[in-house]
Amino acid sequence: MKKIVLRCENLKKNFGKRKILKNVSLKLIEGDILGFIGPNGAGKTTTIKLILGLQNITSGKVYINGYNVEENFRKAIEKVGTIVESPDLYMYMSGYENLKLVANLYKGIDKNRINEIVELVGLKNRINDKVSKYSLGMRQRLGIAQAILHKPNLLILDEPTNGLDPEGIKEVRVLLKKLADEENMAILISSHNLAELDTLCNKISIIKNGEIVESNDIETFKKENESGCYLLEVEDTSVINSIIDYRTEIIDKRIIKININKEEIPQLLKDLILRNIKVYSVSEENLSLEEAFLKRTGGNVIE
């Protein structure tokens, strides 16, 4: 049975009379990549700060590897790595020199461990170059290398792909999947890039107005929020609306979206064929994470 690495229980955070978080509960097990998403101002960054002990908890508890963050902060935080937006790097130094500086903050991190991490993040050929010569994706990978030098089993990232080009995003995605799969690391990612989280995460937690409104496997979440629509590929969509009674949306000349129950599809196809409409394919519309998120939250708004 996999170990629970992070557990938040009924977290509340008030600033005066203003309630920022209301009974936020999260669970993250080893090997999972959890996408923590929500509208701007929903409470994502505040939750992360409470987990990391950067703000006081009004009520509730945070456990990391079984240790209560408030009662035993040193033990709770010793196996945590984190990057909030951009990593702190010295641009005039080499990648290796940056890692050596961080290694000096911990006990037992020798040259072999640094080399192991350099290999893991794919910077072996450039590690002795100055960081100023690195691409943004390489700098982000170096930042992750700094965060995992001390062998954490929990990695917390706030907007890790901000400002990266597609190639940089891909580099970070490949690395994080490798850490989860090969190092069994639990990873919590707060991000607005839902398309990227869709390809990266296996779990999702949605926060809105300081409350968790959904925690689920990504595929289950998308399935539960399906639109009930099917895509038909036909010879010419312009004639369809005049002969069927279902709610439709013409995507292009050959593709039409129809809101219909699965059981009604055979009869629809029969009717279309009898009217000499050529039907080439029919497929269920699969929602993206972004589409399912907007449907679940009612849009990217703060109430």
Long-range contacts of 135-138 (CB under 8 A, 24+ apart): 135/167, 135/168, 136/163, 136/164, 136/165, 136/168, 137/164, 137/165, 137/167, 137/168, 137/169, 137/170, 137/171, 137/172, 138/95, 138/168, 138/171
Say yes or no: 74 and 22 in one domain. Answer: yes
Structural domain boundaries enclosing 258: 227-285
Say yes or no: 69 and 189 in one domain. Answer: yes
Nearest-angstrom CA–CA distance, 239 and 59: 61
Q: Considering the entire predicted model, what is its pTM? A: 0.81
Within a domain: 171: yes
The closest of 64, 51, 83, 65 to 189, measured between CA atoms, is: 83
Boundary-marking domain end, from 223, 240, 257 = 223
pLDDT for 228? 67
pLDDT for 303? 39
Per-residue pLDDT tens over the stretch 9-53: 999 999 888 999 999 999 999 999 999 998 888 899 999 999 999
Type of residue numbered 90 = Y
Within a domain: 134: no
Within a domain: 169: yes
DSSP string, 250-291: E-SSSEEEEE--GGGHHHHHHHHHHTT--EEEEEEPPPPHHH
CATH number of the domain encompassing residue 235: 3.30.70
Within a domain: 300: no
Within a domain: 141: no
Per-residue pLDDT tens over the stretch 277-288: 888 888 777 777
DSSP string, 116-152: HHHHHTT-TTTTTSBGGGS-HHHHHHHHHHHHHTT--
| pLDDT band of 90, cuts 50, 70, 90 | very high
Within a domain: 205: yes
Backbone angles phi, psi at 148, to 5 degrees: -115, 10
Count the helix, strand and coil residues of the chain and give each as a percent rounded to the nearest 5: 35, 30, 35
Say yes or no: 12 and 65 in one domain. Answer: yes
Say yes or no: 19 and 73 in one domain. Answer: yes
